[in-house]
Amino acid sequence: MTGVLLVGAGRDQRATIVHARGLGHRVIAADDDPRAEGLGRADVAEVADLDDADVIEALARSHGVEAVLTLARDRTVLTVARDRAVLTVAIVSERLGLPCLARDAAHRFTHKLAMRRTLAEEGLPQPAFAAARSLAEGRAALETVGLPAVLKPADGERQHGVFRIDDPGDLESHLHAALAESRSQEALLERFVDGAEMNAVVVARDGVVRLLTLSDRLRPEGPGFGVAWAHVHPARIHSDQLVAAERTAERVAAVLGLRHGVGLVQLIATSDGEVSVIGAAARTPSAPLTELVRHAVGVDLVDLSLRVALGQDVPDEVASPRFSLPVAIRSLTAAPGPLPTGIVTRVGALGPVLSVDGVVAEKTYLSAGTVVAPVRTADDRHGHVVATGPTTVEALESADHAAGLLVVEVE
């Protein structure tokens, strides 16, 4: 039985834990939150600091990883949907001689300043940017970047500490919060780019990166502008801009150092036909996008990622699209989603949701006591509905309708 140490065991990792166990792997899950939803689904649950490579390495060794250093196909360390854990996993895997993302590549993918500087050196299209470690630096950065701008931690995740800056006073109000979300105490200011935001999911094999899906990433206005509340495949751009987006996504992942495994590149298509790079990650994406890829093109990202991490061959039939279907994902959130704000007292049956024509899956993280707040970060998403249809418009209509049928009572 192979052993998999999963670094991070939250709700996005829960499905991976279940899937890996179903494939016959022994799963050791680690998280710094003892309430993490995935811990109860693992063979072994460990509470540990995900930023401490020494601690994670010790866990790996204590669970037999050290004893099979020469058998990388039988033991591995893996992260899913957690940017924060990517560098830790790279360091631990390197120390143990296991298949992994190179440490310098992990840094480029997880530290936004390093990412931006690398993309700039390669001439890839991206917004103007500048670093800010203090208010004085922030003011100077704002002069370079211009308004409107986006302020974000250099190495944060899940849209924590992300703010739109429309005037200098916004910078003074929010810089401290952005720096507090950064482990390196650095923030990044970027020029705000208006347009159609997209997610590109890519797969790399032996350094060759290929696109799996390009989907629209719909998000609300206001404080939660960085949080996706819907995903729609395929993206609505076309012609030369579509080709540019696809090639840019593949090149970004390759330039940043993804040689094996799954990656995510965020892009914006502007009204003048250009494409701009917003971000990238060297990991399996969160549950909604993983579901989208599976239903849109028939690729199981969890299975693919496990094969890569275990050092197994990844054949074309595992890593290549088998078809292409319109798919929409509607997240369960407060406005513009269907959920009321408040403390949940009761969640209705899922039957009406699943009975809607075109709905193929749902995931709900709601229970009595859950707090539903206005959308601000990724933590304000409480599940999602997946629907297909003859067109993207009909798929999204089905997902919207089904999400609205879930009865949630609050106080």
pLDDT above 90: percentage of residues in the chain = 38
pLDDT at 73: 28
Higher pLDDT pick, 281 / 159: 281
CA–CA gap between residue 73 and residue 102 (Å, rounded): 18
The rounded distance, in Å, linking the Cα atoms of 141 and 230 is: 32
CATH architecture of residue range(s) 3-100: 3-Layer(aba) Sandwich (3.40)
* Rounded Cα–Cα distance for residues 56 and 208 (Å): 30
pLDDT band per the 50, 70, 90 thresholds, residue 198: very high
Q: Which residue has the higher pLDDT, 128 or 219?
A: 128
The CATH architecture assigned to 193-325 reads 2-Layer Sandwich (3.30)
Q: In the predicted model, what is the mean pLDDT of residues 361-387?
A: 89
- Residue 334 and residue 372: Cα distance in Å, rounded? 7
99: confidence class by pLDDT, cuts 50, 70, 90: low
pLDDT, tens only, 300-351: 988 888 777 777 788 898 999 999 999 999 999 998 889 999 999 999 999 9
Please report the pLDDT score of residue 358 as a whole number: 95
- Cα–Cα distance list, 307 to 8, 57, 129, 299 (Å): 19, 21, 37, 13
Say how many CA atoms lie within 13 Å of 264 toward its Cβ. 24
- pLDDT tens digits for 252-288? 999 999 888 889 999 999 989 999 999 898 878 877 8
For residue 207, the model assigns a pLDDT of 87
Provide mean pLDDT across the span 10-31.
Answer: 80
Structurally, at CATH architecture level, domain 128-191 sits in 2-Layer Sandwich (3.30)
The token pair that represents 160 in the structure block: 């924590």
Confidence of residue 369 (pLDDT cuts 50, 70, 90): very high
The pLDDT value recorded for residue 359 is 95
Q: Residue 385 in contact with residue 295, Cβ under 8 Å? A: no
The Cβ of residue 67 has, within 10 Å, a number of other Cβ atoms equal to: 12
The arithmetic mean of pLDDT across residues 19-37, rounded, is: 83
* Residue 240 pLDDT level (bands cut at 50, 70, 90): very high
Q: Domain residues of the chain, as ranges?
A: 3-100, 128-191, 193-325, 331-411
The confidence score (pLDDT) of residue 232 equals: 96
* Res. 85 pLDDT band, cuts 50 70 90: low
